[in-house]
Chains A and B, each alone.
Chain A
């Protein structure tokens, strides 16, 4: 069974940084693209970024380029999202997803809540 478990969320002040982690199990992590998708409270889904199996290609939504960095460690079956210069509008539940070309969300974690507030 595919399992994705996110961690690292919490409350952070505007301008601060946070690193999210996602540990994968139940499948060969190194064989899949992976993504982060977020959902602001009461709002819709927003794709954030994805990363190729070997980390050689990364893509971001324009509004987060330069502030967010996606990375992975295949030896640890882990996906990461480094978030810098956080703003109130980054407040959301962040989901780790297993991805293929057809869909950014083949499988989903339970999400981790990031709250940006002073």
Chain B
């Protein structure tokens, strides 16, 4: 199972919006189930779930974070970028083999 494809890095200035892409195949991201999720990880910390079911936010996650999907590519958008958003972001997807696959990760830098 190959890792989902994410850009290595994305940057933006405070207040701007950025979008991170996550590309897979018809066996995972593009499958009929919408089981794509996104995680935020600060250095030395455990990951935190930010988005599940492509576009749903867990309780307590800022509405500045939003998700979407088109075909084999899912996207995470962070609007109103803040310094605290600087972190690594990972996507994951359920697969047709009843397993999960993660993306390689994207480092977000707030300029």
Contact = CB atoms under 8 A, between A and B. Distances in A.
Interface string A90-115: 00000100000111111111110000
Interface residues of B, number: 25
B104 interface: yes
Interface size of A as a range: 20 to 34
Interface in A17-52: 35, 37, 44-47, 50
Contacts of A108: 46-48
Contact of A45 (B1, B52, B53, B90): B90
Interface of A: 35, 37, 44-47, 50, 59-62, 95, 101-111
Interface of B: 1, 3, 35, 37, 39, 41, 46-49, 52-53, 58, 90, 92, 94, 97-105
Instruction: Please list the 10 inter-chain residue pairs (A to B) with the smallest Cβ-Cβ separation, ordered nearest first.
Output: A103-B37, A47-B100, A108-B46, A44-B105, A104-B100, A45-B102, A103-B52, A102-B52, A102-B35, A102-B53
Given A47-B101, A104-B92, 20 more contacts: A44-B3, A44-B102, A44-B104, A44-B105, A45-B39, A45-B41, A45-B90, A47-B92, A102-B53, A103-B35, A103-B52, A103-B92, A104-B37, A104-B100, A105-B37, A105-B39, A106-B52, A108-B46, A108-B48, A111-B46
